[in-house]
């Protein structure tokens, strides 16, 4: 996954990056670096993001794009 896809998928969750960073096991700085492509998006981030997306889908809170 590239940083631009990470940013797009996080935006769909409708939460701030400050809220999402700890849920993904990252600091705000680390999340920012992954979104900007300065660090590769880790497999851990991908898996946790998939979990958050599924949780949001089940609760009906994710924004449709």
Res 62: pLDDT: 56
Res 59: pLDDT: 86
Residue 64 within a domain? no
Residue 49 within a domain? yes
Q: Who contacts 38 (Cβ-Cβ below 8 Å, separation ≥6)? A: 3
Give the span between the Cα atoms of 63 and 28, in whole angstroms.
Answer: 22
Range of the domain at 37: 3-59
Res 64: pLDDT: 57
Tally of domains in the chain: 1
Per run of 10 residues, the mean pLDDT along the chain (length 65 residues) is: 95 93 96 96 96 90 59
């Amino acid at each position: 996954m590239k940083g631009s896809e990470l940013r797009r998928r996080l935006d769909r969750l409708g939460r701030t990056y400050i809220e999402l960073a700890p849920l993904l096991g990252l600091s705000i700085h680390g999340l920012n670096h992954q979104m900007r492509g300065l660090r590769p998006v880790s497999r851990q981030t991908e898996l946790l993001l998939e979990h958050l997306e599924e949780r949001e889908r089940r609760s009906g809170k994710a924004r449709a794009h």
